[in-house]
Amino acid sequence: MVTNVRLKLGKKIKGLRRKRGYTQDKLAEITGIDYKYIQKIEGKTPPAVRIDTIEKLAKGLRFPIWKLLQFED
């Protein structure tokens, strides 16, 4: 279940990143998050992500944090 939430978050971040036309490097530059960590978040076995990191990603993607954390079942 936890991994499922992590996968959904990673998929959503990846989709928004692509929609904005950002590479992982560009998103890393905008947010100050290492691009390798962004790769892990978007990967097949994503780590637990701290809320402050999620906030940085939401701001960098110009997307409300509450919508970033809203998942469809």
Beta-sheet strands, E only, within the chain: none
Q: Of the ranges 10-14, 16-20, 37-41, 69-73, which one carries the lowest mean pLDDT score?
A: 69-73
Contact 49, 9 (CB under 8 A): yes
Q: How far apart are CA 71 and CA 57, in angstroms?
A: 16
Confidence of residue 7 (pLDDT cuts 50, 70, 90): very high
Share of the chain above pLDDT 70, in %: 95
pLDDT of residue 13: 98
Q: What are the pLDDT digits (tens) for 24-54?
A: 999 999 999 999 999 999 999 999 999 999 9
Q: List domains and CATH numbers for the chain.
A: 13-68 (1.10.260.40)
- Mean confidence (pLDDT) of the chain: 94
Q: How far apart are CA 34 and CA 6, in angstroms?
A: 18
